[in-house]
Structure 1
Amino acid sequence: MFSDPGGRVLVDAAAGNSEAGNPELVWYASYGSNMNPRRLACYLRGGAPDGGVMTLPGCRDATPPRRSVPLLLPGLLYFATESAVWTGGRAFYDPDIADHTAAHAYLLTAAQFSDIAAQEMYREPGTDLDFSLALGTGRARFGPGRYETLVHAGTRDGYPILTFTAPWGRHDVPGNPPAPAYLRHLAHGLIASHGWTIQRTAAYLASRPGADLTWTTAAVVALLTEDAGSPPEIDWSVDNSTQ
């Protein structure tokens, strides 16, 4: 079991189990800019996100998520490499470091998850991923790229929780602070899914490795209180129940 500071159980099973195969539905646990529903909508429907420089083709199936829930994943969020979309550092997840990573999980079809993963690598969607190894062992690489390591983080309501990250770990690459527009998407996603205050959101993001090289809590608070962006307008019915 894994709980938030208030005692709410958010991930209800350990990663890696004997159930292997390709399920029809999966939880896509986003820990980066796709925590913002407006940002995820660009991956589903196609389009360019606020502050981004690249237009995404969208998924084969643009159906909205069936549900969305806040999650806390075991592991560390950090920022590294250089984004071609935003400039500045990208968000990555290291499941091997003892920490908590806030995520926004969306219940999607396996094909939608595969298409989102393809777009993260600037590829055309259309190829279905094989989840069997990740579901059986907890982790699997389906390519050498920065978002081509599949992590099975647990289960919720009988569906596997999946995310993708880099093949390297936090200590293998230098940190790189995220751009303001990118960081704003993460913040809006945290506020929308977890219901955090601006202060708590800012403190969390500013403390992540890579971000902490230039960002302070006060600077993130100032970014979020500027009239430079609006909170998510897409309601995908975030379920905050304990279940």
Structure 2
Amino acid sequence: MTEPRRVDARRAAGTRTEPPGLVWYASYGSNTHMTRLNSYLAGGFPPGGGRDYPGCRDARPPLRSLPLELPGRMYFATRSPVWSGGRAFYDDGVPDGVVLARAHLVTAGQFADIAAQEMYRAPGRDLDLAPVLEAGRAHLGDGRYETLLYPGEVDGHPVLTFTAPWSRRDVAPVRPSGPYLRHIAEGLFESGAWDLPGITVYLAACTGGAWAAGEIEALLRR
């Protein structure tokens, strides 16, 4: 088993003065799955998703990918037209919680293009990362994945992710679909850091009881 990394919170908000060339994109939803992430980078139709992604300006794969544990809680809300169920969001306001994720080392431009595609926008515009690196959080807009978070660093590079502007207590939970859960589980499993029993218990907790661990285990073993 590979030991998951944790962010170095000592190098968090307000400690950077220069724009980063490389960032860790912390994926906690379907982009934990490398095949799906590649569709965001290189473009095309990913397995299990009925949407054609334009891809990034820089289509190269991540320089590195590693398992990561983030402080907080993952939950499912709103309804995805791609997955026909709840979307995964990250609430960093739960300091005693743990979110299982995969961090992909990409350029700042690739991160900007991935974020654009998550909001159904055309890639091609760089993001000003100074506000999020200064404050730890920055709002690009009111969209579902337009709130940037900077929880800390790994190996000297900032860890960045995006989520909704609300917390899990501000929105009604929505049951995620089986294919969506399977995609997340496969991505976490292929990282080599967590076994299937642990992943099923984790995902069941994230659904708030909408899926039992036994149901998820049966889903994964089909």
Task: Name the TM tier (shorter chain).
Answer: over 0.9
Q: What's 1:235 paired with? A: none
Query: Can you list the C-alpha shifts for 1:129-188, whole angstroms capped at 9, x where unaligned?
Result: 110010011000111101000000101111100000000001000001111111111101
* TM-score normalized with structure 1 length: 0.86
Q: What's 2:79 paired with? A: 82
Q: 1:220 aligns to what SS in structure 2?
A: helix
Q: Equivalent residues in 2 for 1:1-243 (5 A)?
A: 10-14=6-10, 15-98=12-95, 99-208=97-206, 211-226=207-222
* TM-score normalized with structure 2 length: 0.94
Q: Residues 7, 193 of structure 1: CA spacing in aligned structure 2 closer, same or farther, 3 A cutoff?
A: closer
Whole-angstrom CA distance in 2 between matches of 1:146 and 1:121: 7
Whole-angstrom CA distance in 2 between matches of 1:46 and 1:20: 33
Structure 2: gaps (5+ residues):
none
- 2:55 counterpart letter in structure 1: G
Whole-angstrom CA distance in 1 between matches of 2:115 and 2:158: 16
CA shift, 1:10, in A, is 2.1
CA contact (8 A) 2:175 2:210 kept: yes
Q: Residues 20, 131 of structure 1: CA spacing in aligned structure 2 closer, same or farther, 3 A cutoff?
A: farther
CA shift, 1:7, in A, is 8.4
CA shift, 1:195, in A, is 2.9
Paired residues in the alignment total 219
Whole-angstrom CA distance in 2 between matches of 1:194 and 1:173: 33
CA contact (8 A) 2:5 2:66 kept: no
Q: Residues 173, 194 of structure 1: CA spacing in aligned structure 2 closer, same or farther, 3 A cutoff?
A: farther
Identity %: 53
Q: Greater shift after overlay, 63-72 or 6-15?
A: 6-15
Q: 2:123 aligns to what SS in structure 1?
A: coil
Q: 2:40 aligns to what SS in structure 1?
A: helix
Whole-angstrom CA distance in 2 between matches of 1:174 and 1:195: 31
Whole-angstrom CA distance in 2 between matches of 1:212 and 1:150: 24
CA contact (8 A) 1:138 1:152 kept: yes
- 1:225 counterpart letter in structure 2: R
Q: Which runs of 4+ in 1 moved over 3 A?
A: 6-9
Query: Can you list the C-alpha shifts for 1:31-88, whole angstroms capped at 9, x where unaligned?
Result: 1110011110110011122221111111111001001111111111000000011110
Q: 1:81 aligns to what SS in structure 2?
A: strand
CA contact (8 A) 1:67 1:107 kept: yes
CA shift, 1:214, in A, is 2.4
CA contact (8 A) 2:67 2:193 kept: no
Whole-angstrom CA distance in 1 between matches of 2:4 and 2:202: 19
Q: Residues 66, 163 of structure 1: CA spacing in aligned structure 2 closer, same or farther, 3 A cutoff?
A: same
